[in-house]
Structure 1
C-alpha cells in the first residue's frame, strides 16, 4: 500500500510540474505552438478546463492553475499522513 501511495504522490507532483510548464508557456505564447506546450496543454486541460469554467476571471487572470496547485498540495498532505 505504501508503494501505491508513493507512486500516486509522485504522479501528482509530476502533474503539478506540467501545470507549471503550461503556465510559463502561456505567458510566453498564449497559443500552444510547439510540441512541449501542446503536450502540457493536452495533459492539463482535462483538469484545468472544468475548474476554469466555474471560476470567474479576475482582471483577465486565470486562477485555475492556482486552485489545482492548492488542491494537489492538500491531497499530497493527506496521502503523506496515510504513509506515516
Structure 2
C-alpha cells in the first residue's frame, strides 16, 4: 500500500510542478517554443482542457484553468489517500 501511496504522490506532485512551469513559461516566453516547452504543454494540456471548457475565457486574457487544476489535483491526492487509508 505504501508503494501505491508514493507513486500517486510523486505523479501528482510532478503534474503540479509541470503546471507551475507552464504558468511561468507563459509569462516569460509566451510565443517561443522548443522541445522542452512543447513537452510541458503536451503533458499538461489534457489536464487543463476540461477546466477551460467549464470556464470559457471569452475575450479575457487571464486563464484560470491552471490554478483550478492545481487545486483539484491537491483534492484528488487527498481523496485517494483517504481511500487508501480506509482500505489498509
TM-score (norm 1): 0.83
Equivalent residue for 2:72?
71
Deviations 1:1-53 (A, max 9, x none): 22112201110110110111111111112235122211100000111122112
- Structure whose CA Rg is larger: 2
8 Å contact kept, 1:19–1:44:
yes
Moved more, 48-57 or 61-70: 48-57
Equivalent residue for 1:2?
2
Consecutive unaligned residues in structure 2, runs of 5 or more = none
Instruction: Tell me by how many angstroms 1:77 deviates.
Output: 1.9
Equivalent residue for 1:37?
37
After superposition, the CA RMSD in angstroms is 1.9
Aligned residues: 84
Alignment of 1:46-61 (within 5 A): 46-57=46-57, 59-61=60-62
Instruction: Evaluate the alpha carbon distance shift between residue 30 and residue 51 of structure 1 in structure 2; reply closer, same or farther with a 3 A threshold.
Output: same
8 Å contact kept, 1:9–1:76:
yes
Q: Any idea what SS the aligned residue of 2:62 has?
A: coil
TM-score (norm 2): 0.80
